[in-house]
């Protein structure tokens, strides 16, 4: 190991140099920030106050976990329009009215997701699986036990306040 690498002064005096010591060439390039994906999700209540959840199918990130139906917002798409498109594609309903209830960013190791949950208060059609995912209505208090994805858990308190309306 060179004297500089040992932290010795340039003359080997045994005293620390006030200058930083370069050990192995230039600093690594800063990593680009991970992409942030805007995800629209809708919550539908049944007449018993339960919420509709969908199970992520095999082959998808976080397969087997339960989440609220929805998907990625497209570039330039308004949030309400993205919600309508995603719920039509995924569960076959036409959203007429929806209200934002909670949104936040959730980091993953390789990306970040901005979750945007809306209460779908009016729609036509009957929710059905159009992408091979399991669907079920679940009581809000059962969501954690059922296996709601970690990223969706901050939504539970907001859902409780709507369920009481």
pTM of the model: 0.76
* Cα–Cα distances in angstroms (integers) from residue 158 to residues 7, 12, 17, 98, 118, in the given order: 55, 64, 56, 15, 10
State the pLDDT at residue 91: 98
For the segment 11-39, what is each residue's pLDDT rounded down to a tens digit? 344 444 455 444 444 445 545 556 789 99
Q: What is the mean pLDDT of residues 119-132?
A: 96
Q: Other C-beta atoms within 10 Å of 107: how many?
A: 11
Contact 103, 117 (CB under 8 A): yes
Q: Mean pLDDT over all residues of the chain?
A: 83
Percentage with pLDDT > 70 across the chain: 78
Pick the CATH number of 36-163 from 3.90.79.10, 3.30.565.10, 3.40.50.150, 3.50.50.60: 3.90.79.10
Element containing residue 86 per DSSP (H, E) = helix 79-91
């Amino acid at each position: 190991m060179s004297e500089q690498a040992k932290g010795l002064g340039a003359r080997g005096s045994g005293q620390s140099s006030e200058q930083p010591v370069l050990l192995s060439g230039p600093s690594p390039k800063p990593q680009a920030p991970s992409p942030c994906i805007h995800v629209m999700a809708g919550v539908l209540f049944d007449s018993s106050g339960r919420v509709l959840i969908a199970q992520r199918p095999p082959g998808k990130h976080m397969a087997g976990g339960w989440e609220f139906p929805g998907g990625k917002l497209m570039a330039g798409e308004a949030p309400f329009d993205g919600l309508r498109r995603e719920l039509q594609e995924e569960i076959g309903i036409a959203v007429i009215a929806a209200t934002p209830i909670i949104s936040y960013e959730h980091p993953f190791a390789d990306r970040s997701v901005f979750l945007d949950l809306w209460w779908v208060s009016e729609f036509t059609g009957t929710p059905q699986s159009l992408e091979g995912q399991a669907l079920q209505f679940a009581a809000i208090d059962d969501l954690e036990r059922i296996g709601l994805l970690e990223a969706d858990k901050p939504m539970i308190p907001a859902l409780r306040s709507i369920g009481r309306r």
